[in-house]
Amino acid sequence: MSLQGAHALITGGSRGIGRGIALKLAEAGIKVAVHYYQNEAAAKDTLAEVRRRGSEGLTVQADVRQPEQIAQMFRKVRADFGKLDVFVSNARPEVPLFFQPPMDITLEQWDNAFDSQAKAFLVGVREAAPLMGRGGRIFAITYAEGSRTGSLQPWVGMGSAKAALESLVRYFAVSLARRGITVNAISPGWTEDSVLNTLPPQAQDLIRNWHTRGWTPMARLGTPADIGNVVRLFCSEEAGWVTGQVIYADGGASLMNPEVPPEIQLG
Ligand SMILES: NC(=O)c1ccc[n+]([C@@H]2O[C@H](COP(=O)([O-])OP(=O)(O)OC[C@H]3O[C@@H](n4cnc5c(N)ncnc54)[C@H](OP(=O)(O)O)[C@@H]3O)[C@@H](O)[C@H]2O)c1
């Protein structure tokens, strides 16, 4: 797929990691549909930054927990762009809407997690694929630590939903392979300028120190631009043989062994 003149839709592209992806794709000459839910000002600001990078785009609103609103979002994208080359499913509800341990999580919180992740991806990919030609690129932004571990108890809803999302990535990868469309999950590590910055300052300090002192071998947190660079990389024509994978973009954090203190592991 030639990046210049391609068209992308990024859910949750207004803020955080989604914004980092929008700006890196814009730098590559891709036109970007910046999706948001409640904060239109952030979406407009991101679109202004897209334009500052010499690209173009639009903003589009939807609650991705509502399939009809997803369909409406794609109708707007089709009307404006006429086609789509890149679809990134990145949006995630505010933490209190799903953050509760297994014995306490309400069914509404559970549904917020699953509807915004697995169901939104199911509906979104089925809307996106008909707009794509050969070389189309589909991404799910996951958090694979949450889908394969059970330690962060209040993450149970989102972790389970991300596991379902990663499974769907594999099924869609096979389903769309004959059409030359790749489907991959990108798994960021802890990232600055994102949901992290909404946590209490003490929690932010604990997390930052944990990573800079070695739990992330590269000794820093990621940035939205880091994740944007990875998506851009996998949009390239040369990445066309990689599909159905969970790609960790975390400075090596997922390589660490939780049974041994980082000081010993890092030598
Ligand atoms: N941050 C991290 O360290 C980290 C690590 C690993 C994976 N991830 C994953 O990366 C993705 C982005 O995370 P982030 O921290 O960058 O998010 P964020 O800064 O909290 O931004 C969330 C985005 O999702 C939108 N959104 C919220 N509720 C929505 C809904 N019901 N329907 C549609 N859109 C909705 C928001 O739009 P409005 O502002 O308009 O409401 C916003 O654009 C998520 O899938 C997350 O699981 C994040």
Looking at residue 53, which CATH number applies to its domain? 3.40.50.720
Tokens of 152: 């962060």
Q: What is the pLDDT of residues 56-109, one digit of tens each?
A: 999 999 999 999 999 999 999 999 999 999 999 999 999 999 999 999 999 999
Q: Is 64 in the pocket of ligand 1 (CB under 6 A)?
A: yes
The structural domain count of the chain equals 1
**Mean pLDDT for all residues in the chain:** 96
Does residue 201 belong to any structural domain of this protein? no
Strand partners, 59: 34
Ligand 1: centre distance to CA 90 (Å): 6
Say if residues 3 and 30 touch (Cβ distance below 8 Å): yes
Does residue 89 belong to any structural domain of this protein? yes
Ligand 1: centre distance to CA 161 (Å): 14
Ligand 1: centre distance to CA 191 (Å): 12
Ligand 1: centre distance to CA 265 (Å): 32
Does residue 200 belong to any structural domain of this protein? no
Phi and psi at 154, nearest 5°, equal -70, 0
Q: Round to whole Å and give the CA distance between 138 and 53.
A: 23
Q: Determine the atom of ligand 1 nearest the C-alpha atom of 141.
A: 45
Tokens of 136: 């189309």
Q: For the chain, state the CA radius of gyration.
A: 18
User: What is the per-residue pLDDT for 92?
Assistant: 98
As a whole-number percent, the residues of the chain with pLDDT over 70 amount to 100
Does residue 258 belong to any structural domain of this protein? no
Does residue 153 belong to any structural domain of this protein? yes
User: What is the per-residue pLDDT for 138?
Assistant: 99
User: What is the per-residue pLDDT for 258?
Assistant: 86
In this structure, the number of other CB atoms found within 10 A of the CB of residue 78 comes to 14
For the chain, helix, strand, coil in percent to 5 are: 50, 15, 35
Say if residues 2 and 85 touch (Cβ distance below 8 Å): no
Q: How confident is the model at residue 144 (pLDDT cuts 50, 70, 90)?
A: very high
Q: What is the pLDDT of residues 222-255, one digit of tens each?
A: 999 999 999 999 999 999 999 999 999 999 999 9
Does residue 227 belong to any structural domain of this protein? yes
The b-or-e profile of 11-31 (16+ CB within 10 A means b, else e) is: bbbbbbbbbbbbbbbbbbebb
Q: How confident is the model at residue 267 (pLDDT cuts 50, 70, 90)?
A: confident
Q: Is 16 in the pocket of ligand 1 (CB under 6 A)?
A: yes
Residue nearest ligand 1's atom 20 by CA = 195
Ligand 1: centre distance to CA 159 (Å): 14
Tokens of 146: 């949450």
The b-or-e profile of 42-62 (16+ CB within 10 A means b, else e) is: bbebbbebbeebebebbbbbb
Burial class from Cβ neighbours inside 10 Å (0-12, 13-18, 19+) for residue 37 reads: buried
Question: Which residue range forms the structural domain that includes residue 119?
Answer: 7-193+223-252
Q: Is 231 in the pocket of ligand 1 (CB under 6 A)?
A: no
Does residue 96 belong to any structural domain of this protein? yes
Q: Round to whole Å and give the CA distance between 180 and 94.
A: 35
Does residue 145 belong to any structural domain of this protein? yes
